[in-house]
Amino acid sequence: MARQDPFKEYFREAEPEKQEKIFAWRTGIGLQAVDGLKTSDYLRDIAVRNIAGEISFAEADKLLETHYRDKPAPAADDRAEEADKVAARIAALLSEKAFSFTPQEYLAIHRRLFAGIYPHAGCLRECNITKKEWALNGGTVIYSSAAELSATLDYDFAEEKRFSYRNLSMDKIIRHLAVFISRLWQIHVFREGNTRTTAVFFIRYLRALGFAEINDTFAGNSRYFRNSLVRANCNDLKNGICETTEYLELFLRNLLLNKNHPLHNRTLRLRETMKAPEKADIDPQKANIETELRG
């Protein structure tokens, strides 16, 4: 049975400040789905109290700290604490107005979201990574080299700063935004938490660009957002597959223009052409090494 929306009553008649908090909390909670995480009922109760004005974001954070400090040690696969704390921190960040379009801001968002959760919060990853993607049938996106992360991040920010949106149609604006955010995500600056950090940064950047009335598309479609980023960075030319921002653009049209395009994850999944190779019993390279050497 689907959970009843705990914020439903607030949509009937709410002051602007409450509406903003509802958006922030729904987005923060919804974004946990990008990593398959679910928030607790306790977190939702805290969210309602914050929206009602009973407690501040700082008090909400303290309540969560106390709650999880006093709880028995969780199972190894129980990440409710991470989901609750990060959701609350996202809500707090999205309720702030201050913003700077810099790599430092991007790193600072990750640090604030994951402090005390990941030891590497706010730090560039130091190793190259791969990740099996459902949308690619187990294949992986090619992420940026760890040795070039800082330079790549600086380059992408500099290019975006130089770009002019003057006199562009909304179609071209959305297409450019899709390319920019997909490239930023592809760098995968951090070992964990890249999509949630990118989403928070992107929402704040969109507001800085004048998109003040952003709806809560992220709340129910965060997995689609991540999968569309994957498809925007997937190439398999031998099998006729090219990177595309078409899915991300649909997401942005819903987010920014209140369109109602269906956002179904199944439409993003590739055929079996990108399936990851299975481990063989015998290494083909070793089995055929003499043949290879002989040419």
Are the C-beta atoms of residues 32 and 38 closer than 8 Å to each other? yes
Q: Hey, what are 118's tokens?
A: 């990941």
**Conformation bin of residue 213: beta by default, left when phi > 0, alpha when psi is -120 to 50:** beta
pLDDT at position 271 is: 74
Burial class (CB in 10 A: 0-12, 13-18, 19+), 46: buried
Determine, yes or no, domain membership for 149: yes
Residues 120 and 218 in one domain: yes
Kindly report, residue by residue over 40-86, the tens digit of the pLDDT: 999 999 999 999 999 999 999 999 999 999 888 777 667 999 999 99
Among the candidates 43, 65, 96, a domain finishes at 96
Residues 213 and 124 in one domain: yes
pLDDT at position 1 is: 52
| Interatomic CA distance for residues 113 and 166, integer angstroms | 34
Residues 1 and 129 in one domain: no
Among the candidates 35, 63, 96, a domain finishes at 96
DSSP string spanning 138-178? T----PPPGGGHHHHHHHHHHHHHH---TT--HHHHHHHHH
Domain CATH number, residue 121: 1.10.3290.10
pLDDT at position 8 is: 67
Q: Which domain holds residue 268?
A: 110-273
Among the candidates 69, 96, 123, a domain finishes at 96
Are the C-beta atoms of residues 255 and 263 closer than 8 Å to each other? no
pLDDT at position 172 is: 98
pLDDT at position 145 is: 96
Mean predicted lDDT score pLDDT of the chain: 89
Residues 89 and 140 in one domain: no
Which residue in 256, 261, 245 sits closest to 170, CA to CA? 256
Kindly report, residue by residue over 132-179, the tens digit of the pLDDT: 999 899 999 999 999 999 999 999 999 999 999 999 999 999 999 999
| Interatomic CA distance for residues 204 and 293, integer angstroms | 57
